[in-house]
Amino acid sequence: MLTKRIIPCLDIKDGRTVKGVNFVDLRDAGDPVELAQRYANEGADELVFLDISATEQKRKTLAELVFHVAEKLNIPFTVGGGIASVEDVDILLKNGADKVSINSSAVKRPELINELVAKFGSQCIVVAIDAKQLEGNWKVHLVGGKVPTELDLFEWAKEVEQRGAGEILFTSMDNDGTKNGFANKALARLSEELNIPIIASGGAGTIAHFSETFKTGRSDAALAASVFHFKEIEIKDLKNTLKKEGIPVRI
Amino acid sequence: MGLVIIDYGAGNIQSIKFAFQRLGIQAQLSNDIETIQSADKVIFPGVGEASSAMKKLIQSGLNTLIPELRQPVLGICLGMQLMCNSSEEGNTKGLGVFDLDVVKFNSGVKVPQIGWNKIGNLKSPLFQGLNEDYIYLVHSFYAPKGTETIATSTYGLEYSAALRKDNFYGTQFHPEKSGVYGNKILANFLSIK
């Protein structure tokens, strides 16, 4: 049986992990490679690296990081953040990324999804969608959720699927940072209306939130950052609890 | 000539190279027919779309070379699928090593299957000393069960997670991305004579 995936997300700036990370026993808490290995050993099913740097050197630095992560990591990982062209994706995949995630660039030019799928295959193209509710309707937002668009979440998600994306990473800006749980109603509707895997993101605070998003939210995977970085939730405890509740997980 | 990973422009071969590096083996990437022929062992990778990958094989003459190889060959993911008779993806012919036709998942499951699933019914030296465990997969198409099946997995239905015919092995999953368990499968492949 296919298991539900637990995905820690690492924010990267200029090749280094950002946000305070309190793994006291790490030699270098800012080293993404060491942190990635640590998560893999603890039972993470996959990792996401989100590059938030905006320097001229960004491309080269990110490609080098991907190379070093791939060298050490024996689980899959996705790279996202500012990816805007076939060339960008080519460099990352050649350096060892398993998947890439695109966001704003797909909204600005949806054909990019088709182009990437034609060249690299659906299996490595994740489309990330940030959305929040405006007057009761889920609207897609850009630039990390700051800029609203006219796009409806569910219509955009369907278009993303039709254009060939292999997976959707949906972040609810209403839930992100609240630690009050994932946007399970919207997630369940995405799973109802689409036939590609959905990764839930935004709102993880407790183990119960993961359980709820797999049950009522019908999510295929759940992504979180701070609860893992700050050790508020240990992946082993999380997976043991999920297993006891009858949710299929890899232990 | 040691271990050669066939480099025909279809797939994330860097990950496979790194996985063997972690086992202490330096693999060579090549699409040169003589280099591949003289290798002790050959990895045939592949991700992406079947018919375009098949076209690349034909362009480089690898379509006739691969089925004639005598050393242990391991096809991974799309590599395994291309070693079958045909694939429904792009309606392409395959290399005809495995007597199976690859078809699309169509049984009320999300497609692609992405993530960790369990393999069982393990046979052959590839799984020597191993019990059933989780492996990582990403695929929309699958090879049904057949007489050459050496591992099965279930996603809506039971399908071939690995195949073997003589010196040819294939895994639908990515051993290079399947954690410690995947490393052991690659190590087993290296010890096949």
For the segment A11-57, what is each residue's pLDDT rounded down to a tens digit? 888 888 876 444 445 556 678 999 999 999 999 999 999 998 777 77
Q: Does A167 contact chain B (CB < 8 Å)?
A: yes
The answer to whether domain A5-244 has CATH 3.40.50.300 is: no
Residue B77: active-site member: yes
| ipTM for the whole complex | 0.94
C-alpha distances in Å from residue A101, one per residue of A237, B37, B44: 28, 38, 26
A226-241: average pLDDT: 94
C-alpha distances in Å from residue A36, one per residue of A8, B8, B12: 9, 30, 19
- The C-alpha torsion from A82 through A86 and A91 to A93, rounded to 10°, is 100
For residue B115, what is the domain's CATH number?
Answer: 3.40.50.880
Please name which of B136, B141, B115 lies closest in space to residue A219, comparing C-alpha atoms: B115
Residue B174: active-site member: yes
Identify the DSSP state of A4. Answer: P
Q: How far is A74 from chain B (nearest CA, A)?
A: 5
Residues of chain A with C-beta less than 8 angstroms from the C-beta of B15: 70, 96, 98
Q: How far apart are CA B160 and CA B157, in angstroms?
A: 10
Catalytic residue among A11, A51, A98, A220: A11
Please name which of B173, B116, B104, B108 lies closest in space to residue B144, comparing C-alpha atoms: B104
Residue A130: active-site member: yes
Q: pTM of this prediction?
A: 0.95
Q: Does A122 contact chain B (CB < 8 Å)?
A: yes
- Across chain A, which distance is largest between two alpha carbons, in Å? 48
The mean predicted confidence, pLDDT, of chain A is 92
The parent domain of residue B51 ranges over 3-191
Among A39-43, A120-124, A143-147, whose mean pLDDT is lowest?
A143-147
Domain count, chain B: 1
For residue A144, pLDDT over 80 is answered with no
Residue A30's pLDDT is what?
A: 79
Catalytic residue among B34, B49, B77, B84: B77
Domains of chain A, by residue range, sit at: 5-244
Q: How far is B80 from chain A (nearest CA, A)?
A: 16
Show pLDDT as tens, one digit a residue, over chain B (193 residues): 699 999 988 667 899 999 999 999 999 999 999 999 999 999 999 877 899 899 999 999 999 999 999 999 999 999 999 999 999 999 999 999 999 999 999 989 999 999 999 999 999 999 999 999 999 999 999 999 999 999 999 999 999 999 999 999 999 999 999 999 999 999 999 999 8
Residue A155's pLDDT is what?
A: 98
Residue A145's pLDDT is what?
A: 76
Residue A27's pLDDT is what?
A: 53
